[in-house]
Amino acid sequence: MPPPRPLQRLADEQAALRESLHGPITLQDRLEGGDEPSYLRNGVANSVLRDLRRGRWAIQDEIDLHGLNREEARDQLATFLAQSLKYGRRCVRIVHGKGHGSPGREAVLRRLVRGWLVQKNEILAFCQAKPQDGGEGAVVVLLRTQRSS
In a domain, 1, yes or no: no
Q: Residue 124: pLDDT above 90? A: yes
In a domain, 149, yes or no: no
Q: Residue 82: pLDDT above 50? A: yes
C-alpha dihedral, 75 to 42 to 134 to 97, nearest 10°: 40
Range 112-118 average pLDDT: 93
Q: Are strands 61-64 and 38-40 parallel, antiparallel or unpaired?
A: unpaired
Q: Would the pTM count as exceeding 0.75?
A: no
25: part of which helix (H) or strand (E)?
none
In a domain, 48, yes or no: yes
Residue type, 42: N
CATH number at 22 reads 3.30.1370.110
Q: Residue 104: pLDDT above 90? A: no
Q: What domain count does the chain have?
A: 1
C-alpha–C-alpha distance, residues 85 and 25, integer Å: 22
Name the average pLDDT for the chain.
Answer: 80
pLDDT of residue 67: 85
Domain of 81 in residue numbering reads as 6-143
In a domain, 98, yes or no: yes
Q: Report, in this order, helix, strand and coil percent for the chain, each rounded to 5.
A: 40, 20, 40
> Per-residue confidence at 138, pLDDT binned at 50, 70, 90?
very high
In a domain, 115, yes or no: yes
Percent of the chain with pLDDT over 90: 56
> Per-residue confidence at 145, pLDDT binned at 50, 70, 90?
confident
In a domain, 61, yes or no: yes
pLDDT of residue 37: 77
Chain centre distance of CA 25: 14
